[in-house]
Amino acid sequence: MNWIVPYLGSFRSMLRLGGPLILSQLALMGIGVTDSIMLGWYSVEALAAGVLGHTVFFVIFIVGGGFGMAIMPLVASAVARDAITEARRVTRMGLWLSIAYAAAVLPAFIYSEPLLVIIRQPAELAQLASRYLSIVGFAMVPALIVLVLKSYLSAQELMRFALLTTIIGFIVNIPLNYVLIFGKLGVPELGVEGSAIASFLVNSLMAICLCIYAAIKLPEQALFQRIWRPDWASMRTVTKLGLPISVTSLAEAGLFSASTLMMGWLGTVAVAAHGIALSITSLTFVIHVGLSSAATIQVGHAFGANRLSDLKRSTIVASCASAVIVALTVLLFLSMPEFLVSLYVDPMAPELDEILIYGTLLLFMAALFSTVDAAQVMALGMLRGIQDTSVPMGMAIVSYWIIGIPVAYWLAFTLEWGGVGLWAGLAIGLACASFGLIGRFLILYRKLHAKAA
């Protein structure tokens, strides 16, 4: 039974790393859930516009987020080799690239209404969503800064303050939304625009807090000292690893975002129910994202120090933990779907019954694809730990856009399955990705093992 001891140690390490990361992801997702719930209680139209606007924001954010996500394995590997200067340099260039990206995409937010009309969104919904986007676009800079600094701190196992910052953001977001959306305490009633302003203020608060903490906690690394000086070699390193991550994330996020846009073709009730179901499933999915990030850190440390036995244990422990969460998630979705959906809608809303029926069906579908969704994100985290991102990018593009989107469209509109067909297409795309990514990791692990032997 001595073989169990190392696995218990790896499990404790996973909990120490993954716990704060999961809670931080849940708190961050809670901010979006708060927005959806309050907009849903304001009006169904506001909820639909908020869902559409947030979808567009998230897709654009996830592309720029590749630079921030690349920081985690790079810093973890550098710290394992005691290369502190390298950790500082890649983080600085991650901030450079993220801020430059945010400035470049701002016009797309400001002039979003014509773009939404082009992709066949109803005129009234496009107009309302564009008002949200023209404000929330300015939140891109602090949001990406938060992502870079969280990766930087998490790679050095300093996740607790990042968690505290996110919890503070979640708490502050609730009264801000209430006051700005509904017009309280003498503030004008702003609806979706109020939700966008709250998002900007909350992200700015979190970015400031993390900057101050990083400077105080790690003074020897001097992260912000002469930050204006470029380091082209480090920038190339971050770009080389980060761009494939961005494209991979875009392919996955685009799968869900395209489904939201196609839901818009089915009407306001359909897109509102889709947004509710997606929000609920996202709350459970972020647990796997947190575990995946913990796996990236553990695998990154083991990879940087060339400890293959630790790498193997980390992947097994992370996969088992994710499987347990999947089982609990399926049980939750199948046992109380109507109750979960009802939390998002005003009980007096005339569309309540339609949304409950639609949302319940979508949660049944979510129970089916939660397994493969968890598998693909865990495999991605492990692959990033060994700094493999280019081939997974290709796998994601094929799985989500060559297979997932066409199948979703065919099921929804050719076979006329509607929203259920769209979600079935999502499941098929995710299943293809999970099998490919798991196979890729196993192949690379065998190569590493053979090389070490």
Q: Tally the C-alpha atoms within 13 A of residue 140's C-alpha that lie toward its C-beta.
A: 30
Give the per-residue pLDDT at 104.
Answer: 93
CB 306 within 8 A of CB 452: yes
DSSP state for residue 404 in the 8-state scheme:
I
**Tokens representing 182?**
């509904």
Give the per-residue pLDDT at 279.
Answer: 75
Give the per-residue pLDDT at 335.
Answer: 84
Sequence-distant (6+) residues with CB within 8 A of 110 are: 134, 137
Sequence-distant (6+) residues with CB within 8 A of 304 are: 76, 77, 78, 79, 80, 81
Give the per-residue pLDDT at 103.
Answer: 93
* Maximum separation of any 2 CA atoms in the chain, in Å: 71
Give the per-residue pLDDT at 53.
Answer: 81
Give the per-residue pLDDT at 212.
Answer: 92
Q: How confident is the model at residue 101 (pLDDT cuts 50, 70, 90)?
A: very high
Mean pLDDT of 52-77: 84
Q: Residue 175 pLDDT > 80, yes or no?
A: yes
Q: Residue 51 pLDDT > 80, yes or no?
A: no
Give the per-residue pLDDT at 310.
Answer: 77
Give the per-residue pLDDT at 86.
Answer: 84
Backbone φ and ψ for 386, nearest 5 degrees, come out as -100, 15
Lowest mean pLDDT among 270-279, 390-399, 442-451: 270-279
Give the per-residue pLDDT at 228.
Answer: 83
Q: Give the burial string for 273-308 (b: 16+ CB within 10 Å, else e).
A: bbbbbbbbbbbbbbbbbbbbbbbbbbbbbbbbeeeb
User: How many C-beta atoms lie closer than 10 Å to residue 234's C-beta?
Assistant: 21
- Between 126 and 323, residue with greater pLDDT: 323
Mean of per-residue pLDDT scores for the chain:
82
Lowest mean pLDDT among 81-90, 258-267, 283-292, 440-449: 258-267
119-170 pLDDT per residue, tens: 677 777 777 788 889 888 899 999 999 999 988 988 887 878 888 888 898 8
In whole angstroms, give the CA distance from residue 56 to residue 254. Answer: 9
206-229 pLDDT per residue, tens: 999 999 998 888 888 877 877 888
Single-letter amino acid code for the residue at 366: A
Sequence-distant (6+) residues with CB within 8 A of 69 are: 147, 151, 242, 245, 249, 384
Nearest to 382 by CA among 444, 447, 451: 444
pTM of structure = 0.74
Any idea which residue has 């947030």 for tokens? Answer: 54
Give the per-residue pLDDT at 9.
Answer: 66
Q: How confident is the model at residue 452 (pLDDT cuts 50, 70, 90)?
A: low
Give the per-residue pLDDT at 350.
Answer: 62
Give the per-residue pLDDT at 28.
Answer: 74
In whole angstroms, give the CA distance from residue 107 to residue 101. Answer: 11
Give the per-residue pLDDT at 118.
Answer: 76
**Tokens representing 453?**
């032997």
In whole angstroms, give the CA distance from residue 67 to residue 238. Answer: 6
Mean pLDDT of 377-395: 86
Backbone φ and ψ for 377, nearest 5 degrees, come out as -75, -30
Nearest to 53 by CA among 210, 219, 182, 200: 200
Give the per-residue pLDDT at 396.
Answer: 87
In whole angstroms, give the CA distance from residue 65 to residue 241. Answer: 12
Mean pLDDT of 384-403: 87
Q: Residue 36 pLDDT > 70, yes or no?
A: yes
User: How many C-beta atoms lie closer than 10 Å to residue 313's C-beta?
Assistant: 22
Q: Residue 1 pLDDT > 60, yes or no?
A: no
**Tokens representing 356?**
């409950």
223-260 pLDDT per residue, tens: 787 788 888 888 898 988 888 888 887 787 777 777 77
CB 262 within 8 A of CB 412: yes
- Between 306 and 233, residue with greater pLDDT: 233
In whole angstroms, give the CA distance from residue 207 to residue 148. Answer: 10
Nearest to 87 by CA among 145, 148, 159: 148
Q: Residue 8 pLDDT > 70, yes or no?
A: no
Give the per-residue pLDDT at 128.
Answer: 79
In whole angstroms, give the CA distance from residue 212 to residue 219. Answer: 11
Give the per-residue pLDDT at 232.
Answer: 87
Give the per-residue pLDDT at 2.
Answer: 57
